[in-house]
Structure formats: C-alpha cells, structure tokens
Structure 1
Amino acid sequence: MTKTLHHRACHLCEAICGLTIETTQAEGAAIRITSIKGDKDDSFSRGHICPKAVALQDIQDDPDRLRQPMQRVGDQWRPIAWDAAFALVAERLAAIQQRHGNNAVATYQGNPSVHNYGLMTHSNYFLGLLKTRNRFSATSVDQLPHHLSSYLMYGHGLLLPIPDIDHTDFMLILGGNPLASNGSIMTVPDVEKRLKAIQARGGKVVVVDPRRSETAAIADQHLFVRPGGDAALLFGMLHTLFDEGLTRPSHLPVDGLDQVRESIAGFSAEAMSPLCAVPALQIRQLARDFAAADKAVCYGRMGVSTQAFGTLCHWLVQLINLVTGNLDRVGGALCTEPAVDLVASTSGGHFNVWQSRVSGRPEYGGEFPVSALAEEILTEGEGQVRALITIAGNPVLSTPNGRQLEQALDGLEFMLSIDLYINETTRYADLILPSTSALENDHYDTTFNMFAVRNVSRFNQAILPKPEGALHDWEIFVGLAQAFAAHSGQPLKPTVAPAQMIDRGLRGGRYGDDSTYQLSLATLAHHPHGIDLGALKPNLAQRLKTENQRVQAAPAAILADLERFAALQAPSVDELLMIGRRHVRSNNSWMHNYHRLVKGKPRHQLLMHPDDLASRGLSDGQRVRVSSRVGMIEVEVLASSEMMPGVVSLPHGWGHARPGVHMSIASEQPGSSANDLTDERQLDELSGNAALNGVPVKVQAA
C-alpha cells in the first residue's frame, strides 16, 4: 500500500482554502482518496476548512457523474464517441447559423467556469468562432453591478477594491454573509476569525441585512433593512457625510464629487428612511461612526447587487469609501496586485455598445443579461435564438422565471451542454460533453487571486491521473473548435495548454522578474503550500484605466439613473418581499448530490417572522403556497424571529425533483426552486442584472 500526500486549493467556493489530500494505492488497484484536511502550512488559509472540501471525494466517486459523452435520443441517453460528438456539434450549429444567421446560436456560462481555469482560457477558442452576440452568463444574476460600477468609475470592470479586513477598524457589510459564503468578491478563508480579530483590536463590525444572518449574529450591530432599500440607506449615509462635514480628502485624482453632492441633495437620511425602513437617526449615526473610525471599509455583496438599484448601490459603496478617505488606503478598500494580472493584460471592457433584440437590454463586456435569454428563444422573428450551448451552468434553477426558461429550452432546434451531470437544465440537451473531474485537473486561480485579501499565488497539481478516454475541459473546446473550423472553413490559431498560458503570465507579471520571487510554474512547484506575496497596499492611482487616469465619481449613466430612483415608492405595509439565503454547505445548485453536504437539519424551508405567520393564520412547520407574478410553489414554512417583519427568505438552488434529472441524492431532497418565483421583468434597469431580492410574493396555506 502506497500513501501519498498532496497539497492544493479547494475549488468549491471563492475562499480557495488550502487542502492536504491523502491518497492510497494498493498494488494493481486504482488510487483512492483516504483523507481531506485543511493544510496548516497553507500560506493563505492557515489550515481553515469548511464542510464543502471533504465532499471533493464524493464528487470524484459519484456514480451519477458523467464520464463519457452522452447523446439524447428521444427520452434515452446513449454514449457517443468524442470525434462523432464534435462532428455532430459542428454540423448542427453550422447548419443553423447558415439558415438563420450567427446570432441564432446562444451561449450560457455558469458560475463554475471561474473555478476551473481551462474553462476560462479555452472556452472562447471555440465560442469565438461562432461570432454570435447572444452570449449570457451567471454574471448577470450575481455581480454585474460590481463590474459595471468599477468600469464606469475606474475604467476596468475587474479593478475591484477589496476590503482590507486584516487592518480595518470598522467594517460595514451590506447584503453579504461571509460566514456562509466564505467571502465573495472578497477571497477570505477563515473569515470568522478575521472578523473577530477586528473586534479584538477594538474595532466594530456592522451588518445591514433583512435577516439576522450568521454574520449578523456575531456583529457588534445589526440593522434590518427593507429588501431593495439598500440604495436609500447608502444615499442617506452619503448625504449625511456631506451635510455634516464628515468627509476627508483623498490622495486619488477625482472628477465629479461636486456633481455628486449636488445630485443627491434631496436624498437626506430623513427622506430615505421610509424607503429603507431604517430610522433616520440610525442612518446618520451609522455615517458618523463610519467617518469617526481611523480606518473603515464599506463592503456590499450579492444582496445589494441582485436588486432594482444594484449598480447605484455599488457606486455608493465606492463613494462612501472615497469621501471618507478609505479608498485605496490600508485598512480601507484596496486593489490586489495579483501575479497573473487580468487588469493589466485585458482591455477595460465596454457597455451598451449593442442591445438585445427583444427588450433592448444593454450588453456588458459582450454579454447580455440572462433575464433576456428565454425571450430571445421564445420570440419569433429575425435573430431568434434556435440553438444553445451551456457550459457548467444550470440556469433553470439559477436564473429568473425558471419555468419559462424550461419552456424555451424544450423548443430549441439543438442544445449542447458541457457539464458533469444530467441536471435540471442539461436534460434538455441533445448532447452532453463531460470533462475530467477537478482532482484530475491542474488549476490556477486567476479570478480569485484578484479578489483576495492578501496577494497570493499557488499552482494546483492534479491529484488523480486522467482516466483513459477522458478529456479535460480545455481539450473539449479544442476538439469542438477544430471540428467547427473544418466544417465552416474558418482558420484556427494554434493553442497551448492552460498551464503554459499561466507560466507566461507569471513570468511576464510584476513578480516574474522580482528578485525575491521570480515567479513561474517552476517556482510554484517548489511551494506546494502557495506563496504569500504580501499584504494589499495602495495602488489604484497608478492602475486607473479611465481615459484621463482619474476616478470618475459621477459617471453620466449612473447620474441618469437617479431619476428612476427618485420615483421609488415604499411598498405597501401588507406586502411580503422575498430574499434569498446562503448556507455554508451549498454553492448555488451544484452541491446537493452528495450525502455529506445535504445531511443534517433541512434548510430548504421558507423563513417567515412569527407575526407574519399569525396575521395570515399560518403555523410553524405548515406547508404553504408561495406565489408571485410568474409562478407558484409549495414549501414548508419555518417561524423565524431572525427575519425582518414583512420579509420571507427562501434559498435558491433547490427543486431537483423534476422529471429526467439523473441526480439520485439531489432528486430525493425536499424544497422548491426560488427561481420559479423570481421575475425576469424585475431588473436593475441600468445594468440588466436580475433583481432576485425584494420579489413581491403572497403566502397562504397550501
């Protein structure tokens, strides 16, 4: 029996915690995983681990995971050879584009794309040949307002200031629950210890959320806010900072602050209070406390992105950090300096250069809001989408009005999915191409190193050998590209493996010729626990990508959206608003087919304040019917005093008991899909991001 210890990062969430994985192999037998633990010597995560990591073994061994290409024939699935699959894709897509134009083929990329670098480095090697403008991704049900505000203010959508959590004295968290998410657009393993360290050094943690979340429970202060009211709260804070002379000068070159002050003159704390349900005195005191702290940072996450004024929220977060002198400052919000720097190596992006066919939604970075995907398939006419490629995504469960999208998928002429499972979305595909598993793949975190609370670098070697006949995801894209190029007569550029691309990026990056590090893949091979490249430090002034290299505090597109905000009315007192919920054992819909992650107390229920239950004649544990404009579900309700009255909470990613899903454990789980209730018409009109929070619903006995 041979035992081997391996070190790599977990890829199941943004925290990228270091792991020590033990494998054993008996003579003549396959390699087995026998232990997964936190790596105490990891340069970043310091031994921290969450329950998701131990499920890596379950994913590897899952009998439901696809291990060869599968073709759907009627209601049956049968294996197909790789070359035949590639040829079929090329033939079908080329024929559809020849008849209906390039835009008749659409693409959707899911959240796991950023957790595996082969999907990032090589997907466009194939997709670029399609020359379609109908591109969609999970970005627009999540963080699109982050990117758009940074693009408009700093000139690049990936120039995202990150909370300097290890040095701040005051951390204000809106719409985030890092104890459940392990940090998000803030790569921060062991976040609970880091938050408690703020308190231990005399600082303060404040959480603003319609639910007393796990993070709010350990905070020094928790403020309930009405769903969708975060922009009003932030406007009231910013107005107070100006009104009471609480601003500080910034070293950054800034244009437009006077215009901002003038534009928000009517948005006082007193005027904003009815919209956010936070008393004006509390809004003003929060602004004073933030300004009085020596080092403070305001952090907004998914809860403030997925609402009707998501972009305004993130603009205001940046402005509050800026006007208090905490932007680009130690202990405030800082940009990373990653070893492979996508800000330095890519253009800043573009916004609203073209619009979607049906609703005129703006593109960002070449992608349309996914809320528009179903209508682009269902609406007849020139440019109608007739074929779809999904990549590591499950939009039926993760995007608004999932039932409408099911209807759309069922009518496609052709659908290709690159995925490991026959799930709620891929069951509609004509062809599913599965890649190797994560542990059979090497990996480098280009994305999450850009959001990390320290500058770090690590190359993750494959733990297990590549199975005979299997292909890595990047090899699948190369095969598809070769087949499509040959069929359509397009030239195809040569390509190399992702690892070679990363090596070039490391050598050409800021640490490649640094005498201390001389980073390359060879260097990282000698550091299996990763390399800590140092704390974040001020650098934004030098990295600005705006035309005049100055922060744009008052982008015209954002100021134009103030008119829409000014028309906002507070909801009626008897209206219930639905929000989502995150759990540390889940990441969207991916992790419900593993017993270790779904065991224990059920967590699919609708949470509702006891007073709201009583006023509707409902009781704790009862089965209820929840309805919105677009649909109705039935689910168990749970009385919870952690909820703000008038607000209900339902986690998304459940609802696996649909016909044709081949996920045995997930299909047995109770719960319904929250996105059978979310409304594709409810958007942040500026960015097109889905407003998944603040959905008006009715709850009654089932």
Structure 2
Amino acid sequence: MADVKEEKIIKTYCRFCHATCPMEISVKDNKVTGLRPDTDNEVFGGYTCLKGRQMPEQLYHPSRIQASLRKNDDGSRTEISTSQALDEIAEKLAEIREKYGPRSIGSYNGTVSFQNSATHPVAKAWHTALESPSYYTSITIDQPAKVGIGQARMGFWLGGNHTWRDSDVALIIGNNTLVSHFSIPGGIPSFSPSNALREGKKRGLKIISVDPRRSEVAARSDIHLQIKPGQDAVLLAGLVHIILNENLHDEEFCAENIENLDALKHSIRKFTPDYVAERTDLAEEDILAAARMFAAGPRGSATTGTGPEMGPYPNLVQHLTQTLNAICGRHYRAGEKLPNPGVLSPPMPRLAQAVPPQPEWLTGIRSRVSDDIGEVTVLTANGPLKEMPTAICADEILMEGEGQIKALICVGGNPLLAWPGQEKAFKALKNLELLVCIDYKMSATAELADYVIGSKLCLERDDLTVLTDIWYEQPYSHYAKTVVEAEGDVIEEWALFWELGKRLGLQLEVGGQPLDMEKLPSKYSILEKMTAGSRVPLKEIYEKDGGHVFDVPEVVILPPDPASKGMLDLFPEGLEEELENAARDADSSFAAKGEYQFLLISRRMKNTFNSTGPELSFLAKKGTTNPAYIHPDDLDALDIKDGEIVAIKSERGEIPAVAQGSPDIKRGVVSMAHCWGPAPDGCGDDKVREIGANTNRLINNLDKPEKYSGMAQQSAVAVQVRKLTSA
C-alpha cells in the first residue's frame, strides 16, 4: 500500500501586492489545499485582504501560462521550451545590440516585479553589464517625486520622519490605505491598516484627509478637506502660508536646519486663506482648522498618495508636503529612539541632521525627448538607484535615431494598460523589433509579444521582505520559503535576466559581488548578496518560522556632526516658477466655464490590483469593470441612470464607461480606476462591462511633462460626460 503523505502547514506571506500579509498554507502532495491568515503574527494580527486569499485559484487557474510561447508570422503561437525561447531571445538581442548599440535594449519592470525580492537588483545588474541605461519601472509612472526628486531638491533628515505609531496628527493627501494597502512611513501603515487606524484614533491621533472623495480614510478623519481635483499644490501652499504667518512653525528647528525660509514665505504670499478657499472649493474655516491642527502636533507627518502624485505639479506637491514636515519639525531628534532603522540594511549612525540637496540625482543620462527629462534617482531598499522615466518610454521607442529602443523586456507589468497615452503606447509596442513578456497570464501587452515566458508565482519561490523593510514600525522581517514546487516550464523574473546575461556573455554583480554565471544561483544566494552586512544576518531570518520582530540593539538618534551637517532647502531652483504656474492654472480653472465640466480622477478598487484580479472568479463577482463613479445629482442632471453606458471625452480622446452613482464623490468629478480596458484599436470597447475602459486613452504623455521625470498628468483631467446607451 502506497504511503499517504500528510498535509503540511507552511507559514508564508502574500505577494499579491506590497503589504506582505502573513498566511498559513495547507499543502498535500505538492498541492495547495487551503489558505488562512497567520493569527500568530504579532505585527499583522491575522490580517489579510480578499485579493490575497485568492492565491490558490491564481496558482491553478486554467489560463495560467505554463510554458513559453513564440509568436509565428501568422499571429498564432507555438509552445516551446523556455530554454529554447531564451536561446532565441538572446540571439535576437545580440543582433540588435550589434546593429543599434546597447541603449536600444530596454526593460520595463512593472508593479508585480516589486513583489519578487530579487528582480530589480538583478535586472539593474543586467543593464549595467549590458551598458544600457534603458531601465524602466512602474515607480516613475506615479511617484518619482515622492521617492527621489523631492529629496534631491530639498534634502532629507538623516534621523527619519515621525512614524504613525509616534504621531499625534497625520495629514493624508490623496491616499486611501484601507483600499490601496500602500503607504510609506508616516501614513496609515499598510500592515493591517484598519487596525492601525483604529489604534491611532483610540490613543487620540488626529487625522486630516485631503481627497475629492469621501474615501474610507476620509470618512474616519477628524477633518476631511473635499478638495477640487488638481488643486493640491494650492492647498498645501496655503497651509504653509497659515502656519508661517501665525508663527505656528518650529522656529528653533527651522533656525538650525532650514535655509531659504523667508524666500519661500515671500513666494507663497498670494496663497491666503480666502484665495485658497476659492480655488480649492473648500471652506476657509476648514483650511484654517486643518493648518492649526497639523501645526499643533506636536508629532506627526504629512504624506501623499497616488492621487495628487498623478495630478498637476507632482514635484511641487511633494516639495510642499516635505516643507510642512520640515517647518513643523516632524523629525526624530537627538536622544530619541528610531522605531525601525531596518533589519536588512547594515548598521549606520543615525544623526539628528539634514542631508543637503542631492543635485547630482537630477543630472544623469538625458532622454532623447528633452534635456529637462532624464534618469531619475529613486531611493530603494538597496540604496539610490537610477532609472529612466517610464512616461517617455513610448517616445524612446518611436523616435528614430541613435539610442532608439528596438527591444523591450516586460517583467510583471502591463504597459499597454499602464503607460500614459495609450494610443502612443500601443503604437510603440507594435513598433519594436522584439517584445518579450514574462507573466503568469496573457495580459493585453503579452498579446502583442513575440515571446511570452511563464513566470513562477509567489508560493513557488523564496522571497524576503526587502521592499518593505523600513516601512514596518518595528524591526520586523520575514523570509518566505517555497511552499510548492512549480509544475510547469516556468522561471522567476530575476532568472530571466540571469539566463539572458549568461547567453550574452555578461558578468552580473549584485551588492558589489559577482554572480556565478555558469550555474544558476540560488535565490538565497542572491538575497544574501543583497543584504550583506545587515543588522540581522539573513541566516537568522531564514531559520525563523514565519515573520518575526527581532531583538536588535536600539538605535538612538545621535547629535549632529558639525563637519557633515547640511540644511534643508525650502526654495530650490524652479520653485517660484512652479508656484506661479500652479496659481495661474488655479485662477484659470476657477474662472473657466468651458466645454469640459468634469474632472476625472484616479482611484483604487478593493477587488483588483491594477490589472490583476478580474480573471479570478471570486474577485470577478465583485465587478469586472471600472465604473465611472459620479455624484447622483450630476447623473440626474445628465438624465443618466446607474448601469448605463456613457462616453467620457477629453481633448485627447474618448472612452466608454459604465455609469455608477456615488454620493461620496464631489460634484463635478468622475472617479475611475486605471489599468483597465482593451487595446485602443476599437475592437474591445463593446466589452466595457466585462473588461472596463482605459483612462490613459484620454491623455497625451507629453502634455505638460513634469521636469526631471517627464511625468504625465493622469488625474484631474478635464472631461465631458454624455449618455451612450440605456442600461
């Protein structure tokens, strides 16, 4: 009689999004038989979301890509071994490099690629060895100012900003962590956010929410500023104006650590409470109350989300957000304990001083589109990392001449749906000589690819909480071991770069250490190089069963070092012009009575993570489209009922959408999730109820590109709405 294997329970964490929620997986005969929250975890307390709980279906979905596919001349696909696909891809890449040079080979590393803890260091190592700067990620689609440009212009505080657990007040600008599960330190933690919000409120933390929608976070705030979309910079300038004019700022901190305070104060003199109230469509008394509440603190932080970051003037919005934290002294001081200096980074002294602006972060390789746009340095878990801005990737593919991108490797992303300016993105992707996608499903972009490589999913691989290491509010880390062995001919995303590197004769280095280019390294060895010298050795984290808060020496903030102390610059080059432009646009918008009476804003949805989720049965029951959420009074005025198909039109394009009344939306606003819909070839618009619509078709990526990042305005887009059909 054959032995019957017993069911095992394995602790792991979810990688559907960035939140790393711990789970326990039941496994028998190399099959997942069940999934439940890890209630033993002291940080998450058993929290998971409905998306992560669908991982078993994702793992065994009938449409999952289990072998590599090659597109034939007639458009059909042939299943081939992954080894053969890699051989053919490498041969084509070698030809392209020889003919056009290394810059002609690019990669786009999408949102899902961040869930694989080794992908970005190995991808960047591949680009370095190849001598190609054409490395793109999803970071520069929605938050380059937040993760790099803001610090480069102003500088940053070496001792760190106040975290949620130490805060008395939080100013949350366009971030809805209860749905998005994404927030950097200072906002509501991504890890069991409902519990974090409940605990914060219980201990008296005051919350100010800025959002055109009464979101889940806004509904639980002490003050909700239901702002007119696109006027975040105006509001923030007004809050700074009030705090400085009423002398509510931390004068001692400013005197010791800030320069150009008077220049900033002079530049924002126009942003008086009455002026700001008119331009933002807010009550003057609410603006004053919010400014005074935030300034009163005494501890707290202001943070932004993708809403304002995808709107107008994201560089200015981020600078003014950092300014609020700076003038109110929202930083850890000498003698205070830093809650979490990071488990996976080497020990380093944390001083109560400013690191001055980093202008070199803004002067890397230039794009071929504009000298004002080029490499962006982003602060990652592995230190500052340079990447080209994704907003202009389509132009780099279409613009002829030296350096034109001819080959693109797409990793864990869906650029046809995600890149701003969908018409141009579609044309660009079809213009490539070689498009390779590694994914677990046939995405809209994979449908265009010459080769599609099947990827391992998170339960089929090791991973480490590298991305989120400093986001936790305790010294927490989790090494997740492989739960089940992959059964198809699939590989990890980072292994794709290693395999191509081997075939192209490249030597890759991670953490300054060379990789073995003869035999595929283990994931553990990659992670070991990435975390060399970490405060807690990787071996110790590996040996823990599940996530763990480590008993590490306290990090106490040290006094400043006079020899290296810098100053935070509140008035960097270009700021005055940005303030003037924001005011001019606000004045124009205030007076406008034109054809486009609505403003389209972005949003997140509970049942999807960008374009991932609608293919799973339980999540599909929650909805298979991205409705156009509109205030019921606006729908009544337009004689539109819930469920009817409407046309959303901008100056750049038009899309269909399913109308949905939503009283939490400000009047004059349309709220839609991005990364939905078909290709812009007219073949999928009739399926809007099943696959949604793509809001990127309503914009051109080069309309008012943001300096440094070229970032396109993807929210607060002027549109008109009209009925197309009845329900």
| Change over 3 Å in CA distance of 1:100–1:531 after alignment to 2 | same
- Per-residue CA deviations over 1:167-220 (Å, capped at 9, x if unaligned) read 322222111001101233345311112212222223322211011112212223
Instruction: Specify the code of the residue in structure 1 equivalent to 2:167.
Output: T
| Change over 3 Å in CA distance of 1:423–1:381 after alignment to 2 | same
Distance 1:430 1:111 in 2: 22
Aligned to 1:420: 440
Distance 1:535 1:270 in 2: 50
CA RMSD, 1 decimal: 3.3
Aligned to 1:445: 465
State whether residues 164 and 333 of structure 1, in contact with CA within 8 Å, keep that contact through their aligned partners in structure 2: no
1:571-590 mapped onto 2 (5 Å cutoff): 571=589, 572-573=592-593, 575-590=597-612
Distance 1:185 1:430 in 2: 37
Distance 1:273 1:180 in 2: 29
Aligned to 2:72: 73
Confirm whether residue 499 of structure 1 aligns to residue 524 of structure 2: yes
Aligned to 1:250: 253
Secondary structure at the counterpart of residue 35 of structure 1: strand
Q: Specify which of 442, 453, 457 is matched with residue 433 of structure 1.
A: 453
- Per-residue CA deviations over 1:498-550 (Å, capped at 9, x if unaligned) read 422433555612x24xxxxxx33234413423225589977598799x97544
Secondary structure at the counterpart of residue 648 of structure 2: strand
Secondary structure at the counterpart of residue 650 of structure 1: strand
Distance 1:106 1:129 in 2: 13
Instruction: Specify the code of the residue in structure 2 equivalent to 1:393.
Output: G
Aligned to 1:553: 570
Secondary structure at the counterpart of residue 615 of structure 2: coil
Confirm whether residue 236 of structure 1 aligns to residue 238 of structure 2: yes
State whether residues 418 and 432 of structure 1, in contact with CA within 8 Å, keep that contact through their aligned partners in structure 2: yes
| Change over 3 Å in CA distance of 1:185–1:242 after alignment to 2 | same
| Change over 3 Å in CA distance of 1:287–1:428 after alignment to 2 | same
Distance 1:536 1:553 in 2: 32
| Change over 3 Å in CA distance of 1:83–1:525 after alignment to 2 | same
Unmatched tracts of structure 2, length 5 or more: 350-356, 378-385, 508-512
- Per-residue CA deviations over 1:239-270 (Å, capped at 9, x if unaligned) read 11100010113397333333332332333233
| Change over 3 Å in CA distance of 1:647–1:469 after alignment to 2 | closer
Deviation, 1:392, is 1.1
Distance 2:538 2:482 in 1: 18
- Per-residue CA deviations over 1:43-89 (Å, capped at 9, x if unaligned) read 32111111112111111111212122211113111122333222222
Deviation, 1:594, is 0.8
| Change over 3 Å in CA distance of 1:273–1:610 after alignment to 2 | same
Distance 1:535 1:259 in 2: 42
1:219-234 mapped onto 2 (5 Å cutoff): 219-234=221-236
Secondary structure at the counterpart of residue 697 of structure 1: strand
Confirm whether residue 403 of structure 1 aligns to residue 415 of structure 2: no
State whether residues 297 and 333 of structure 1, in contact with CA within 8 Å, keep that contact through their aligned partners in structure 2: no
Q: Specify which of 546, 552, 555 is matched with residue 528 of structure 1.
A: 546
Instruction: Specify the code of the residue in structure 2 equivalent to 1:172.
Output: L
| Change over 3 Å in CA distance of 1:379–1:658 after alignment to 2 | closer
- Per-residue CA deviations over 1:84-138 (Å, capped at 9, x if unaligned) read 2222222212222322233222221101121101212322343333322333221
State whether residues 125 and 481 of structure 1, in contact with CA within 8 Å, keep that contact through their aligned partners in structure 2: no
Distance 2:248 2:92 in 1: 62
Confirm whether residue 305 of structure 1 aligns to residue 309 of structure 2: yes
Distance 2:420 2:344 in 1: 34
Distance 1:155 1:500 in 2: 34
State whether residues 624 and 701 of structure 1, in contact with CA within 8 Å, keep that contact through their aligned partners in structure 2: yes
State whether residues 626 and 633 of structure 1, in contact with CA within 8 Å, keep that contact through their aligned partners in structure 2: yes
How many residue pairs are counted as aligned between the two chains? 679
Q: Specify which of 355, 361, 367 is matched with residue 350 of structure 1.
A: 361
State whether residues 474 and 549 of structure 2, in contact with CA within 8 Å, keep that contact through their aligned partners in structure 1: no
Aligned to 2:45: 46
Secondary structure at the counterpart of residue 316 of structure 1: helix
Distance 1:225 1:622 in 2: 27
Aligned to 1:616: 638
Deviation, 1:619, is 3.2
State whether residues 309 and 684 of structure 1, in contact with CA within 8 Å, keep that contact through their aligned partners in structure 2: yes
Distance 1:455 1:77 in 2: 48
1:473-488 mapped onto 2 (5 Å cutoff): 473-485=493-505
Secondary structure at the counterpart of residue 207 of structure 1: strand
Deviates more, 1:68-77 or 1:181-190: 181-190
Aligned to 2:619: 597
TM-score (ref. length: structure 1): 0.89
Distance 1:506 1:41 in 2: 26
- Per-residue CA deviations over 1:374-409 (Å, capped at 9, x if unaligned) read 222223333332222211110111121223211221
Aligned to 2:412: 392
Secondary structure at the counterpart of residue 71 of structure 1: strand
Unmatched tracts of structure 1, length 5 or more: 26-30, 513-518
Distance 1:616 1:536 in 2: 61
Deviation, 1:647, is 0.9
Distance 1:134 1:384 in 2: 10
| Change over 3 Å in CA distance of 1:352–1:307 after alignment to 2 | farther
| Change over 3 Å in CA distance of 1:160–1:76 after alignment to 2 | farther
Q: Specify which of 682, 688, 691 is matched with residue 710 of structure 2.
A: 688
Secondary structure at the counterpart of residue 166 of structure 1: helix
Secondary structure at the counterpart of residue 253 of structure 2: coil
Aligned to 1:28: none
Distance 1:584 1:61 in 2: 22
| Change over 3 Å in CA distance of 1:701–1:163 after alignment to 2 | farther
| Change over 3 Å in CA distance of 1:399–1:336 after alignment to 2 | farther
Distance 1:455 1:675 in 2: 39
Aligned to 1:134: 134
Instruction: Specify the code of the residue in structure 1 equivalent to 2:33.
Output: T
| Change over 3 Å in CA distance of 1:83–1:523 after alignment to 2 | closer
State whether residues 391 and 419 of structure 1, in contact with CA within 8 Å, keep that contact through their aligned partners in structure 2: yes
1:154-173 mapped onto 2 (5 Å cutoff): 164-173=163-172
Distance 1:654 1:110 in 2: 15
Confirm whether residue 567 of structure 1 aligns to residue 584 of structure 2: yes
Aligned to 1:326: 330
Distance 1:582 1:384 in 2: 34
Deviation, 1:637, is 0.8
